[in-house]
Amino acid sequence: MRKNLSCYIIDDEHLAQKILEKYIAKVSFLELKGSFDSPLEAVAQMSEDKPDLLFLDINMPDLDGLSFIPMLNPKPMIILTTAYDQYALKAFDLEVKDYLLKPISFERFYKGVLRLYQEFNPQHQPEQIEVNVMPKTEQEYIFIKAGFNLQKIAICDILFIEGMKDYLRIHTSKEKVMTLLTFAKLEELLPDNKFVRVHRSFMVALEKIDHVEKNRIRMADKIIPIGDTYAEIFFKMLRDFNE
């Protein structure tokens, strides 16, 4: 038998509260139990209700969200909602489930909560909500030299690119392609708002990321490390991608 996720919102911005309340109301497997301006207002009722999921802001006047998380016992699943990307590494050290950067689109919100619902109810798949996304005009393909041939690759199929000594291995949803191109040259070919270097040996397609945990990225069955020198740019790109 499926179980809906009971939710709390803790955010001192009333507009942000209202947006999340609107989003939650659209999703059949989410049940809002309360909205609060600060953790201090919510803590007493939380101990009684024991919600499954908490949407938590970080910067709040009485007690910030990151300081509040270690105080929770039992601890619900937590999705952080914030306008700041610099707390992401600290957040994943605290084992939060997702990190949503404001302004939050419904598409991004739904993707995050759907994944949590499926973890919570592995035997049940909820009805899908159709999300209309405006098409963007952009280059659809690149041609790269692979061996003695020029190979056409659809940009939308690319998952990530892996450095292999003198070669690059382009992982797509259909195949893996080896090329002598450098990362610098490939960066010139790919749209810079969709792909980002996250490590000296890896470049990823932002929209293909399943989730980020601590200092690594999960894409399909692959774990990709985030290098210290690339982390700041990567998290900025994530924020810009959501806007």
Q: Domain range holding 29?
A: 5-120
State pLDDT tens for residues 153-171.
Answer: 899 999 999 998 778 999 9
Look at residue 213 and tell me whether its pLDDT is greater than 60.
Answer: yes
Total domains, the chain: 2
Task: Answer with the one of 90, 120, 150 that is the final residue of a domain.
Answer: 120
Q: What is the mean pLDDT of residues 113-132?
A: 66
CATH of the domain at 41: 3.40.50.2300
- Give the model confidence (pLDDT) of 17-27 as tens digits: 999 999 999 99
CA distances from 132 to 101, 108, 129, 208, 210 (A): 20, 12, 10, 18, 20
Q: How far apart are CA 5 and CA 49, in angstroms?
A: 12
Q: What sign does the CA torsion over 139, 191, 166, 218 have?
A: negative
- Same domain for 106 and 209? no
pTM: 0.54
Judge whether 125 lies within some domain.
no
Rounded to whole angstroms, how far apart are CA atoms 42 and 36?
6
What's the mean pLDDT in 73-84?
A: 90
Structure tokens at 213: 């945990």
